[in-house]
Structure 1
Amino acid sequence: MRFIHLLVIGALIFAAAYVYRIKMDSTARTEKVLRLHAEIREQRDAIAALRSEWAKLDAPLRLQGLSDRHLPLKPVNGTQYDSLKNLPERPPRMFRPGEPDPIGAMLNTIEAASDPDTVTGSVPQPEDKQ
């Protein structure tokens, strides 16, 4: 009978220690969650402060003042526009109408040079298998 009592007391002590460990783990995790929530709140506050600062820096009136102060711009008036007939002539063609486009010909040359069967000096010659 005493052995059963000792066994039950040992089981109760083990159970109490296990419950205490679970309580301490849950308390530590709760504190960690609370710290994370506080950190998230701080980061959100920092983001809100940066957004308000960006809105202040991006304000149209502020930008207008800066451009007036630092850029030598003048308002556009109607005399600055001209008609299409006063545009300069189109530059001369570099090739005749019947000839192939020189840039297209260069691309064809480049594509031909990049043929995977073409061997260059940096690639060793494939050995003949006999």
Structure 2
Amino acid sequence: MKRSTFLFLLIATFLGVATYLVKQNVISIEQDLLIAQKEIFQLEESIHILKAEWSHLNEPNRLQKLVENHLSYSPMEGNQLVSMDKVPSKESDKDYQGRLVTLASAKLP
């Protein structure tokens, strides 16, 4: 057998093995891609279901019924707003916390 024939046979064998390994690698990657696409589809479906549930849970009529059934909410009496000149300053008032408590508990006209 000539030396060049042997060399070409060796190169052909090497290229055949390399082609086979690349093909197997591509098949493995395609399978991983299909698995990832399936997971993405399932996650998108789950997100769609969760959005539907969230919009149902946040319906104003439903929330109003829950508030009426479970909370004994009533508006506070009086006005909770005060002007800035009635709020004590930390620097100028030694009994700062005491005045804040008094101011918070006082009923305004």
TM-score by length of 2: 0.62
Corresponding position: 1:15 with 2:15 = yes
Give the match for residue 50 of structure 2.
50
Unaligned runs of 5+ in 1: 85-90, 95-100, 107-130
Alignment correspondent of 1:125: none
| Higher relative contact order, structure no. (Cα contacts within 8 Å, ≥ 6 residues apart) | 2
Are residues 49 and 10 of structure 1, via their aligned partners in 2, closer, same or farther at CA, if it must alter by over 3 Å? same
User: Does residue 17 of structure 2 align to residue 29 of structure 1?
Assistant: no
Could you list the runs of 5+ residues in structure 2 that have no partner in the other structure?
80-84, 95-109
Cα offset, 1:23, TM superposition? 0.8
Shift of 1:73: 4.7
Counterpart pick for 1:103 among 86, 91, 102:
91
One-letter amino acid matched to 2:91: I
Residue 98 of structure 2: aligned partner: none
> By percentage of residues, which structure has more helix?
2
Q: CA deviation at 1:72?
A: 3.2
* CA deviation profile, 1:57-105 (whole Å, cap 9, x unmatched): 111111111122222357x8xxxx99x9xxxxxx9897xxxxxx65269
Count of aligned residue pairs for this structure pair = 88
Greater gyration radius = 1
- Report Cα offsets for 1:29-81 as digits up to 9, x if no partner: 1111221111111111111111111111111111111122222357x8xxxx9
Q: Which amino acid aligns with 1:17?
A: V
CA RMSD of aligned residues (A): 3.5
AA of the residue aligned to 2:21: R
Flag as ranges the 4+ runs of structure 1 deviating above 3 A.
91-94
Distance 1:23 1:104, change over 3 A: farther
Give the direction of change, closer, same or farther, for the CA distance of 1:40–1:9 in structure 2 (3 Å limit). Answer: same
How high is the TM-score relative to the length of structure 1? Answer: 0.54
